[in-house]
Structure formats: structure tokens, C-alpha cells
Structure 1
Amino acid sequence: MTEHTPATLDLEDIQRGVLSARPTPYAATYLLFRIDDRAHGRELMRRISAVVTSAADPVSPLGETWVSVALTYQGLKALGVPRQSLDTFAWEFRQGMAARAAALGDTGDSGPDRWERPLGTPDVHVVLTALAPDNARLQAAIERARPAYDALPGVTAVWRQNCHALPTETEPFGYRDGVSHPAVEGSGIAGSNPLETPLKAGEFVLGHPDELGGVQAPQPDELGRNGTYVAIRKLHQRVALFRRYLRDNATGPQDEELLAAKIMGRWRSGAPLALSPLHDDPALGADAARRNAFLYRQDDPAGFTTPGGCHIRRANPRDAAVAGVPRLHRMIRRGTVYGPPLPDGVLDDDGADRGLMFAFVGAHLGRQFEFVQTEWLNDGVFFGGGPARDPVTGSADGSGDFIVPRRPVRRRLESLPRFVVTRGGEYGFMPSLTALRWLGDLAG
């Protein structure tokens, strides 16, 4: 039997936004650009390659601060990447998120015809993300990046979204977010679950062997290797509607919190039902070393503690007995809050736009992001739940339900409304630093 040799990653060449965990709290900004002049677009790539932070730089001179950049398929075309190279990118990426909307469940209020412009249109070419522990350092990061695109009239800023993460790490529905992330071989960054074996580097970084032994990378090698794919989505959260639904279906405040936990799979503090099934445990929820150290197969195969249809068990079934191999669909997921919080106890919508900027990172758009979205969040066949959708983020239409396994009689929540509405999104390719320079040096 051949001994396995762990991957060695060139962290100096990989953008830091691919692998590094985010600080708490933090502020972030998404900036989108359109390239109208090919030469100016290439100059942007040359300049930005000197600004982007690598994964080998865990503490930058500005602190926990970094800048990342990704390009859409239309952006690569605008730069003049040769057709023979373009054709080697993942077909989902080449189609773009708007074209994949029906498969992803982005219909009705979430349909591309209702997205914020220019999201989902051919006018989005470059996605620049800046992140820092606070607004002062965020502005410093943006100012550091500004010379890369200033004085380039052929590059136009077309959209901006400011975001933040609270010290409580909670998202608009009130749950602690960002609890679970995988360990990646060769990264030197530990995963959040000590019971999970690190995943092969090729699951997240192109040009390296993945869990199946394959190596995926756009060509030529200097363009594709050490890059990755990203999916960004602006997700509006109907917080008042979510609160009213819990209130209307609970017998009292204590039951309301239990229902919220059963729907998510965790109490609002971040404590998982798997480790604290009867009540919330804020100390556990705040303990990053303990709050994610659990599996399902041995202790809870039927979902009596953590329902099979709850959000966290759908998004990451861990070792549960489901159709398929969960490790092949593991992904890096990050969410950043935008908009003002709805004050505690308010059950009426105040009209403010609030939610998450969702970011997926992975080497396989199809079998990671799209598979989880279509087969696990918007369907329940994989765990025996029929057509039931994710109760939190699924593309509900008011006719679905959510089952809470319980003895002697299961509990059923009916007529689930759509709590999360897609306001737009893009598929991107996050190049290596080598690839950014390669794009800058294109000729013709």
C-alpha cells in the first residue's frame, strides 16, 4: 500500500481570501468593475497583483486586512484571454450564475429579472473584495487598492456593497454564523471539526489532486494553477417574516427558541443540538474548539436530536448515511452581513434591505456549490425527506413543510414561506498571483 504524501501548497501564490479565516469582528466591501478598454483592464491586473495579499501572509502590515480579486467569464473575455484557454474553464462558470438560475432555485422574487443591476449581466467583469477588522483599516485597504484602478478610464466601477461582521458573529436571523469550515491539506490552517479528516487540496485549489485523485485547472498552467472558483450571492433576509413564523408556530418563548434551533440545527449562540439537545449553551456556542466537534452516524442517525432536514445537516451531512459521498460536496462558505439589524422583538418589516453577502470558495462549482444548492438545500431525497426544501434558505413557495422527528408523534411545520431572497450573484475565477501577472502581460 502506497503511503499518502500530503499536498504542499505554494501559499505565496494563492490569494489569501481563498484559505484564510476572517477576523472577528470585521468590515468588508465588495466592489464590481466593468472593463471597457482591454489595455486598461490588463493594466488593472498588473497593478492589482501587487496589492492582493497572499495566503502566506497571515498577518499583513495593516493587521488582519487583505484584498482579493476575482474575474467573471465575461471579464476574462474582456481581457482578451484566448478562446482555447476560455474553453478549459468549468462550464458552469462559462454560463454564469444568471443562466443557472432555474437550476439553483432562483425563481419568482429571486429571479434574475429582479436582481440588482448590474448583477447577473455581462457588465460585471471584476470583483474586488477588501476586508479588515474595522472600518478605519478597511478604508486604508481600499485606499491602498485605489491606485490600481484610478486613472484607468477604461475600467468603470459599477456596484458596491458594504458589509460587516458583529463581535457576536451573528447574522440577521440572530444565529452565530461562520461556525464550520474544512481543513485543507497543505494549507497549515486547521478546520473547525477535529473529527473531520483534512480534505485534499484539489477540492479548493486548482492544479492539485482532489478527493477523487483528479487534477482540475484551466489552461495554460500559469493561468489555472493555484486559482479557484467563487460564487458570490447577495441574499436578502426577511427577518420580520422569520420571527413571525416562529412566533405563530410556537407555544411560547421557550418553544420558539427550540423551533429556531430545530430549523437551523444549532441554537442561536452557535451551540449545536448534537452537543446540547435540550437547551442553549452560550459557553459552548462561543467555544470554537468544541462547538463543531460532532458527527451524526453513531449518535443520531434518525435525526431525533438534529433533524435531517435542518439547515446545517443539509449543508454538511458530515458522516450521516445519505445518498452520495458528503466529502465530495464539502465547500468553503463565508457569509458577511449587510444592512442594519432589525431591533429585537420587532415583528413588522421596516422596509430596510438586510441580509448576507454569501461567498463560496471551491475548485468544483458543479459538484460543490451547485450540487449542495440543488440536491441538498432545494430537495430532500438524499436523506429520505422527499421534495422538502431547506427551511431557512430553500426556494420555498409557501406550500412546503418541515418535519421535526419526535417520539411518539413527529412535529410538522407547514406552509413555509421564502425567508431568503436572492438579489443577485456572480460566478468568478480567483486567479493566483502568477495568473494575475499573466493576465496583465497578455498581448494582442
Structure 2
Amino acid sequence: MAVAPLSLANVQGDILFGLPKQTQSFFFFQIDQVDAFRSNLSNLVPLITSAQQTQTNISEIRQFKIKNNIAVDAGDGEVVHPDVITVSGVNIAFSAKGLQKSKFSTKLTFMRIGILDDINDTLFNNGMKSDASNLGDSGMQQADGTFQPDWDDTFLQEIHGVTLVTGDSHDTVNDKLASVKDILSGTVTEISTLSGDVRPGDEAGHEHFGYKDGVSNPAVQDVEAINPGQATIDQGVALLGRGVDTATTRPSWALDGSFMAFRKLPQLVPEFDKFLLDTAKTQDAADLMGARFVGRWKSGAPIMNATTQDDPALGADATLNNDFKFVKGDQSACPFAAHIRKMNPRNDLSESAIQPHMILRRGIPFGPEVSDEERQANATAQERGLLFVCYQSVLSSGFSFLQQAWANKQNFPPGDSPTPGFDPIIGQTTSGDVRTMTGAFVNNTSQPLNLLAQWVNSKGGEYFFSPSIPTLQNVFATS
């Protein structure tokens, strides 16, 4: 049966565009009263923000900035001006255990073949904890043969669902979150609420190490405009039941849903900065080495086009900051192991080999800015990092693949000599062995560098399914 053309009104807004936000809360919950929860879900659906509404919100924000002579940066639709434009967003997603607990079905009755058998994604069905060792998360092998990751207690519990609430200010988000909790009151137990904020001032749009984030997100075919050099992915790489995903057997209710991977990723910022300075000896050399770790300068300028010093104008220009390719077999300009090269090895592999693994990233920083005391001590005292979120139609081709097969694999990109090593930013090793990379030193790109610490450490997460709005209303909710 032919699938109707994509309607943005049917898709939850965070998937295709990212909900506009200055601040965001993630409300993790367990479902206690199944029938009451499904009944109350029908009252929550009108609050769910669609991709259509999100697109309108982002357009209004950008038009406001243009009218008021405020620069519009790449990815800047997510940065809202509080007290000028009030905007909020709500999305919801469910873990496999949440779907199982709720016994959702296409006929609103219990089915012999459960929803988990139908959705056809093993990693989702098993949950992220079962994937933790493969991802390289630190932890311990238990006597019964299972792996116990070193995660926060929140993610060692059984999570059934998460509600994402975004807005222009804490007041806006708190009010909207209170409405969500009121609707679900008596039917769920709160496990935890985690919150993040866009960093202040000139650091807006940058993660805590200081590098501009989200620059190389792909565009979805026939959904948004494409900038020069920006990858374009088939709709089925992001949405179930579309494009290339039609080759996978899915239930009808999965159409226009997406798998969401959530990770809490604390970052050791003072320690990272100290390592760069100790290794490179001068601040200018440390800045260059950090850019080679990431593949971009802090402004977002790619080192392929700004090889020796930062170029903020280039970093801010969405028509130029992605318009480059790596030189296959050559890491003189950009190390093979650089974060953006590991995550998108443009020209190291063919486009057809890369595109099935691309993800839509929608995370937000959390925690306070680094204090003077922390900088002087070169040690983290207050937890900060990234609440990482990404969407894809197949977890084993998306997030899980990128972490295992590219970030953690020392001989990726393949066929390159010397051996690339680990992604210095997110590459992980469960064994705790010292990670290494090559290409960090401009004057000797073959020289290996021991990365004496792991500056990004996963503290847990979960795999969720973000259903379409019609599925939430007509399949998951009951009147």
C-alpha cells in the first residue's frame, strides 16, 4: 500500500527541526496506572508540538532577529531571545518497557503478537543498558555474566517514558512542565527530571569545551533547505515507514515515528584544557590541537579551510562552514581521528556508505559554567556536560553504530596509515586502557598521542520511540 506524502503536522517537532529552546527539561517517568495513563494521554496530545509548528516557531524567531539586526547563525533557530519571543514545546517518547507496560496495540486491545515484536529494532527492544558494554561505557562484569555500567541511578531504573519540554525561559518551561505533570498525575511516578540550558552570551550554541555544536547536522530530503556541503538524508533515515525504511517491516502505527537515543554525558572541561596546554606548551598551540581533536575551531570554522588559526567569520557562515571534504589518506590538515571526521568521514567513504548512519542531533548543555576556582585547580568540582539527544530510524545503523564502529574503532577510517586511533572527544574503551590517536601534532602527524584521560564519560541513558502525533492520539491514547 502506498504511503501518503509526509505531513509535518504528523511528526513530533524535535525530530526534524529541533524544538526552539533556551532551556529544556526531560521528565523521566514510570507508568503505574495503565488505563488511566492512556486516558490522560488523550489530554496531553493537544500539547504536543508538531514539526509544522516548530518550523513556524523557528521562522518567527529568525524573522525577529533579522528585523532587529541580530545575526542569524547556522543552527541558530534553537536560540530564543527570552522576554521578547515566548515559545514552548512538548514532545513525548517511550522506551520498549514503556510500550510493553502499556500494552499499546493497533486495535486498542491486547494482541498475541506484541508491539515489541512488530517494531523490528533489537537494540530498542533490549534497551540501552544491554548495549552499554558495546558502546564502551565504563562498568563491571557481574558474576551472572551481565554488564553493570557505571551509570547514574536514574538510568539503572526501569524508565517507561520521557517528556521533553522546551522554552525561552525557566518560567516558561516550568509552567509547561507543571501542566504535563498535572495531566499525567496519579498515573505515573517521576524517576527524575534533568534540565539543560543554552550557554550564555557568546557561548550560545557551543558545548562546554567551547566548540560550536550542531553545525554539520544533515538536512532531511524535501523537508528543509540545504546549505553548501551539507549532507542530505533520505526521509527514511530519520523516520520509520518512509523512503529507505520501507524496506524494513514495520507496523502501520510506527509510520513517521523515530527512535530517540538519550545520553547524559558529563564533560571534564578544566582537565581537558589542562591536557591541551600541557601537551602543546603554548595557548596558541593548545587551541590548534583542540581544533584538531574536534575538526573545527571553537567558532565552528572547519580546520580543512582554516588550517592554522580560527576564522570566526567562516564559522558563522552557514553557506561556507560545511563546504569542504577531507582528503582521503591524508591527515595533514585534519586528523583521521578528529571528531567530525569520525562522525562524518566525507570523502573517506562514499556518500552512499555514510548516509545510512547519519543522525539528527538535538542535545543541550547542562550544568554551570566553569568557575575561576575550577580553572585555577584544573579540576572539575561541579558536574556539567551535554544532555545528548539524537533521532534515527535504525539504532544499529545510527547512534549505536557511530559510537561502536567509528568513534571507538582505532582503525577507522579504514585503510588509513598511520592508524587513526580513538575519537578523542567521545571515543570510549570499557577496559579503561589509555586511548591513543595520531594526527594531533601538526609537524608530525604520524606521532601517536596518549590521551591520558577520557574527558566525556557516559552516565547513562535509554533508547526511546517517539511516535507520530496521529499514533499518540488514535492508537496509544484512549478516550
Relative to the length of structure 1, the TM-score reads 0.89
1:27 has 2:50 as partner: no
Question: Does 2:446 align with 1:410?
Answer: yes
CA contact (8 A) 1:7 1:200 kept: no
Aligned pair 1:336/2:333, yes or no? no
**Would you say the 8 A contact 1:70–1:428 is kept in 2?**
yes
- 1:99 equivalent in structure 2: 130
Is the Cα contact below 8 Å between 2:335 and 2:420 reproduced in 1?
A: no
CA deviations 1:211-263 (Å, max 9, x no partner) are xx7444642x1x20110100000011111221121121012111110110111
Corresponding residue for residue 240 of structure 1: 270
Alpha-carbon distance in 1 for matches of 2:249, 2:467: 11
Q: What does 1:184-223 align with in structure 2 at a 5 Å threshold?
A: 184-187=220-223, 189-191=224-226, 193-196=227-230, 198-210=232-244, 214-216=246-248, 218-219=250-251, 221=252, 223=253
CA distance in 1 between counterparts of 2:176 and 2:31 reads 22
Cα 1:415–1:170, aligned 2, differ >3 Å: closer, same or farther? closer
Query: Is 1:421 aligned to 2:472, yes or no?
Result: no
Question: Counterparts of 1:265 and 1:347 in 2: how far apart (Å)?
Answer: 28
Higher helix share: 2
Q: Identify the residue that residue 64 of structure 2 maps to in structure 1.
A: none
Cα offsets for 1:86-118 (capped at 9, x unmatched): 202211100000011111111239975431223
Instruction: Provide closer, same or farther for how the CA distance between residues 113 and 368 of structure 1 changes in structure 2, counting only shifts above 3 A.
Output: closer
C-alpha distance after superposition, 1:306-360 (max 9, x if no partner) = 1111111001112324798111211112221111111364452242111100011
Shift of 1:406: 4.7
Aligned to 1:158, which of 186, 191, 203? 191
Q: Distance in 2 between matches of 1:245 and 1:46?
A: 52
Q: Which of 399, 402, 405 lines up with 1:375 in the alignment?
A: 405
Q: CA deviation at 1:291?
A: 1.5
Structure 1 residue 302: Cα displacement? 0.9
Q: CA deviation at 1:186?
A: 3.0
1:390 aligns with 2:423: yes
Note if 1:76 corresponds to 2:99.
yes
Moved more, 93-102 or 111-120: 111-120
Cα shift at 1:294: 1.7
> Shift of the alpha carbon at 1:144?
4.1
Q: CA deviation at 1:26?
A: 1.1
Distance 1:339 1:218 in 2: 39
Residues 112/173 of structure 1: CA separation in 2 closer, same or farther (3 Å cut) = farther
Q: Is the 8 A contact 1:177 1:335 kept in 2?
A: no
**CA distance 1:419–1:195, change in 2 (3 Å):** same
2:88 paired residue among 59, 65, 77: 65
The aligned counterpart of 2:41 is 45
CA gap 1:324/1:109 in 2 versus in 1, 3 angstroms: farther
Does the CA-based 8 Å contact 1:264-1:310 persist in structure 2? yes
Query: CA shift at 1:427, angstroms?
Result: 0.2
Distance 1:218 1:438, change over 3 A: farther
Equivalent residue number for residue 136 of structure 1: 171
Write the distance in 2 (CA, Å) between the matches of 1:255 and 1:98: 39
Residue 65 of structure 1 and its aligned partner are, at CA, apart by 2.4
Q: Which residue in the other structure is 2:334 paired with? A: 306
Contact 1:379 1:386 in 2 (8 A): no
1:296 aligns with 2:357: no
1:217/1:63 Cα in 2 relative to 1: closer, same or farther (>3 Å)? farther
Secondary structure of the equivalent of 1:173? coil
Superposition deviation, residue 16 in structure 1:
0.5
Distance, in Å, in 2 between the alignment partners of 1:341 and 1:394 is 24
8 Å contact 1:105–1:395 — kept in the other structure? Answer: yes
* Aligned counterparts of 2:311 and 2:97: Cα–Cα separation in 1: 47
**Equivalent-residue separation in structure 1 for 2:40 and 2:215 (angstroms):** 35
For 1:158, give the aligned amino acid.
Answer: I
Task: Look up the SS of the partner of 2:398 in the other structure.
Answer: helix
- Residue aligned with 1:313, SS: helix
Number of equivalent positions: 426
Contact 1:206-1:215 within 8 A present in 2 as well: no
Query: Counterparts of 1:135 and 1:288 in 2: how far apart (Å)?
Result: 29
Bigger Cα displacement from structure 2, 279-288 vs 303-312: 279-288
Distance, in Å, in 2 between the alignment partners of 1:225 and 1:35 is 24
State the distance in 1 between where 2:191 and 2:216 align: 33
The amino acid that maps onto 2:359 is: M
Q: Specify the code of the residue in structure 1 equivalent to 2:188.
A: V
Q: Output the amino acid matched with 1:50.
A: P
Give yes or no for the alignment of 1:16 onto 2:13. Answer: yes
Q: Which runs of 5+ in 2 are unaligned?
A: 61-84, 105-110, 142-146
Alpha-carbon distance change, 350 to 415 in structure 1, aligned in 2, over 3 angstroms: closer
Partner of 2:219: 183
Task: Note the alpha carbon deviations across 1:394-431, whole angstroms, 9 max, x for none.
Answer: 11435221211756663432243211111110000000
Q: What percent of counterpart residues are identical? A: 28
Q: Secondary structure at the match of 2:52?
A: coil
Give the TM-score normalised by structure 2: 0.82
Q: 1:68 to 1:340 in 2, by over 3 A?
A: same
Tell me which residue corresponds to 1:272: 302
Indicate the residue corresponding to 1:3 in structure 2.
Answer: none
* Whole-angstrom distance in 2 between the partners of 1:259 and 1:140: 44
SS at match of 1:305: coil
1:161-211 superposed Cα distances (whole Å, 9 cap, x missing partner) = 110112421211111112111111232x234x423452111110111112x
Q: In structure 1, what residue type is equivalent to 2:183?
A: A
Please say if residues 33 and 156 of structure 1, whose CA atoms lie closer than 8 Å, have aligned partners that are also in contact.
yes
Counterpart-to-counterpart distance in 2, 1:194 and 1:437: 39
Q: Report the Cα offset of residue 438 of structure 1.
A: 3.1
